[in-house]
Amino acid sequence: MVHSLRQAQDRALIAAQNVTWLLERDLAGWFDKIDLTLAAVQEEAERQLAVGGIDPSRLDPFIVRQRDRQPTLEDLGVASADGSVTMGTGIGSAPLNISQRPYFIRLRDVPNAGLVISAPFQRYRNGEKIIALARRVNRPNGDFAGVVVGLIALDQFERHFAFVNLGSEGQVVMRSLDHVTVARFPQSEPRGDAAGEDWMTAETDSVEGSYVTASPAGRARTVAYRKVGQYPFTITVGLLSEDAMAQWRLYAGGIAALLVLCILISGLSAWQIARFWRARDAATKKLELSNLALQKSEEYLSLALESAGLGVWELDRATGRLIADAQARRLHALPAEGPLDPDLVLAAIHPDDRANFHYSFERTLQVGGPFEFQYRSVHAGDTCRWLSLRGRSQSAPETSTGWRIIGVIQDITERKVAEAEIHNLAFYDALTGLPNRRLLFDRLKVALASRARSGRGGALLFVDLDNFKMLNDTCGHEIGDSLLKQVAQRLAGCVREADTVARLGGDEFLIVLEDLSKTPAEAAEQTKVVGERILASLNQPYRFLAHVQRNTPSIGATLFNDSRYSIDDLIAQADLAMYQAKKAGRNTIRFFENIVAGQG
């Protein structure tokens, strides 16, 4: 009975630990990607400092592109040595200075601080609760030049936690290492408060652990917590123990019934003994049914682990012996039978991931504790699969040095592909691969903010294909789609890398030109040159499998040399100018400013 109780408790603990591990992996992945983004902006800023100084017209678009690749980032920017944030997203018109923020002071005073993550704080602009991740930017001589900082809204974490099935009284809490709540689902206390005397108080400063406590309703709750990778947070999951304990209660009830019957035997007559045996048979049958149900439950658990595609492996450091089951061998394209050489595993890892994998693995063997790493494995035909390796170093009794690692491996390629597809679907047109309306509006917002800071001009071009509907109806949608793809390629070839070409929908395209002259007349001339280049390019024949087609565009243009107009105003102005180009006979360009001035 004690053994079956332990099994039921173990199942409750495994469920809480699995949910904790999955959430911890997701959050560590978020922070890893954001740190890489900060490092990319830091490297670009330091490169510009090394060749004469930071050029906002080049660094600002670079920051915007990096932010667009990380949907979890609320904003991304660069602050100068005095704390003024002058480049990046979400700056707004009011001056912003972060020199008094603790993370800025630490990066300024500690040259080798690396990545610094702030405590939760309230944003100046809208009162939103956020955390900041920041890296120091150095001058070529090592002096402090500023910081690159990314912001994450705390409700990002809570929206992610909401997808987890926690049961009736389950809860997920993300806290800093000093026990300040960062995010909690469901909400039961304000974010940013220190830990109180609740179900979290049994946590320690260890990397991971578990314990059993009581829920507010007095029901047993199994709690597992885990540190989020190398970052200063813990993720804690509490689940009711009741379901996992149901089988044990049934088993314990059967045993208790037998004990009661045994006590009554001594006082019963012969006919009572006969009744006892009949009762014992019934209890035995009930116990057998209980054991059968328990066995079925264990089979379901085994099937679930197998369905998850988990492979098991073990490495003995003393002998160099590597043991792996069939699934682990298949994931690494290793021989199905026979001894394994750890060097074969290392050789199968993608060259770009090999050094980091080797470093993380060796460090785990030295310091012990958990080991987790995501990397690409190269298979036949140079195909790559994304794998997640998870393990734990165990120490021998006679030494403190890790001597073996036991763990699991899982193929996460589909998850990686899905993440990339979700990003593309959210920000890019499925047919042409160009930025969609959502990304276009973000780029326009950044362009207007950049113009307000630098004073340099910009322009918006509205390109509409002439008679496209007739071509689509007569030649078919397949030809129409192919023409739209070729138009997208030609438009991208007519502008600079820092400019934006987007598909608004149908046969309509919008082009954002930045970093034009501060003088409106010169900016208009620069825009005209680009428009004529587009006209010449789109007038060239379009070649398809069976025949050749021609098509022309009508282009409307408007300048944004001041801040009087909103994004919707600018699009409406460019649209009006485009219709004037169609009235003028198509295949030409017209400026909104000329229409207002009565010049046609």
Q: Domain of 526?
A: 428-596
Query: In the listed set 258, 280, 307, which residue is the last one of a domain according to the structure?
Result: 307
Does 57 share its domain with 138?
yes
- What Rg value do the Cα atoms of the chain yield, rounded? 32
Does 262 share its domain with 225?
no
What is the block-wise mean pLDDT of the chain (600 residues), using blocks of 10 residues? 59 81 90 92 92 90 90 90 88 78 94 92 80 94 94 89 78 88 77 45 66 75 88 89 54 49 52 64 78 70 65 80 86 81 80 84 74 82 82 62 76 83 82 93 91 90 93 88 94 94 94 94 94 96 86 95 84 94 94 77
For residue 211 the two structure tokens come to: 């314990």
Contact present, 86 and 80 (Cβ < 8 Å):
yes
Q: How many CB atoms lie within 10 A of CB 454?
A: 16
* Torsion angle, alpha carbons of 356, 361, 365, 366, to 10: 10
The residues that bridge with 538 in the sheet, in sequence order, are none
Whether 413 is in a domain gets the answer yes
Cis peptide bond prior to 186, omega within 30° of 0: yes
DSSP string, 274-304: HHHHHHHHHHHHHHHHHHHHHHHHHHHHHHH
**CA atoms of 585 and 588, how far apart (whole Å):** 8
Q: Is the dihedral of CA 527, 532, 538, 540 positive or negative?
A: negative
Whether 56 is in a domain gets the answer yes
For residue 358 the two structure tokens come to: 């080797």
β-strand pairing of 321-324 with 208-214:
unpaired
Q: Among residues 60, 411, 507, 575, which one is catalytic?
A: 507
Does 74 share its domain with 100?
yes
Does 470 share its domain with 570?
yes
Angle in degrees, CA 291, 292, 295, rounded to 5? 85
Whether 423 is in a domain gets the answer no
Element (H, E) at 444: helix 437-454
Task: Report the candidate in 229, 288, 220 with the shortest Cα–Cα distance to residue 23.
Answer: 229
Q: How many CB atoms lie within 10 A of CB 588?
A: 17
Does 104 share its domain with 154?
yes
CATH number at residue 122: 3.30.450.20
Whether 468 is in a domain gets the answer yes
Whether 249 is in a domain gets the answer yes
Does 365 share its domain with 457?
no
**CA atoms of 463 and 388, how far apart (whole Å):** 46
Element (H, E) at 509: strand 508-516
Does 200 share its domain with 284?
no
Q: Is the dihedral of CA 158, 162, 164, 169 positive or negative?
A: positive
Indicate the burial class of 321 (C-beta count within 10 angstroms; 0-12, 13-18, 19 or more).
middle
CATH number at residue 479: 3.30.70.270
Indicate the burial class of 553 (C-beta count within 10 angstroms; 0-12, 13-18, 19 or more).
buried
Does 438 share its domain with 324?
no
Contact present, 116 and 102 (Cβ < 8 Å):
no
Whether 126 is in a domain gets the answer yes
* DSSP structural state of residue 382: G
Contact present, 82 and 97 (Cβ < 8 Å):
yes
Does 105 share its domain with 73?
yes
The residues that bridge with 409 in the sheet, in sequence order, are 311, 389
Whether 363 is in a domain gets the answer yes
**CA atoms of 424 and 418, how far apart (whole Å):** 10
Q: Is the dihedral of CA 395, 397, 399, 403 positive or negative?
A: negative
For residue 480 the two structure tokens come to: 């129409």
| Catalytic (active site) residue 507 | yes
Q: How many Cα atoms occupy the beta-carbon half-sphere of 118 within 13 Å?
A: 25
Count how many domains the chain has.
4
Q: What is the pLDDT of residue 234?
A: 93
Q: What is the pLDDT of residue 197?
A: 36
83: left (phi over 0), alpha (psi -120 to 50) or beta: left
Query: In the listed set 277, 307, 337, which residue is the last one of a domain according to the structure?
Result: 307
Whether 422 is in a domain gets the answer no
Task: Report the candidate in 584, 445, 415 with the shortest Cα–Cα distance to residue 29.
Answer: 415
For residue 184 the two structure tokens come to: 């909690």
Contact present, 224 and 206 (Cβ < 8 Å):
no
pLDDT tens digits, 564-599 = 788 999 999 999 999 999 999 999 999 998 887 766
Does 563 share its domain with 456?
yes
Residue 584's alpha-carbon distances to 317, 362, 381, 539, 578, in angstroms, are 80, 72, 56, 17, 10
Contact present, 480 and 472 (Cβ < 8 Å):
yes
Does 338 share its domain with 483?
no
Residue 449's alpha-carbon distances to 37, 84, 86, in angstroms, are 21, 15, 10
**Cα 534 from chain centre:** 37
Contact present, 41 and 62 (Cβ < 8 Å):
yes
Task: Report the candidate in 484, 481, 480, 500 with the shortest Cα–Cα distance to residue 492.
Answer: 500
Q: What is the pLDDT of residue 400?
A: 47
**CA atoms of 134 and 499, how far apart (whole Å):** 28
Query: In the listed set 417, 447, 480, which residue is the last one of a domain according to the structure?
Result: 417
Does 33 share its domain with 176?
yes
For residue 164 the two structure tokens come to: 């987890």
Indicate the burial class of 97 (C-beta count within 10 angstroms; 0-12, 13-18, 19 or more).
middle
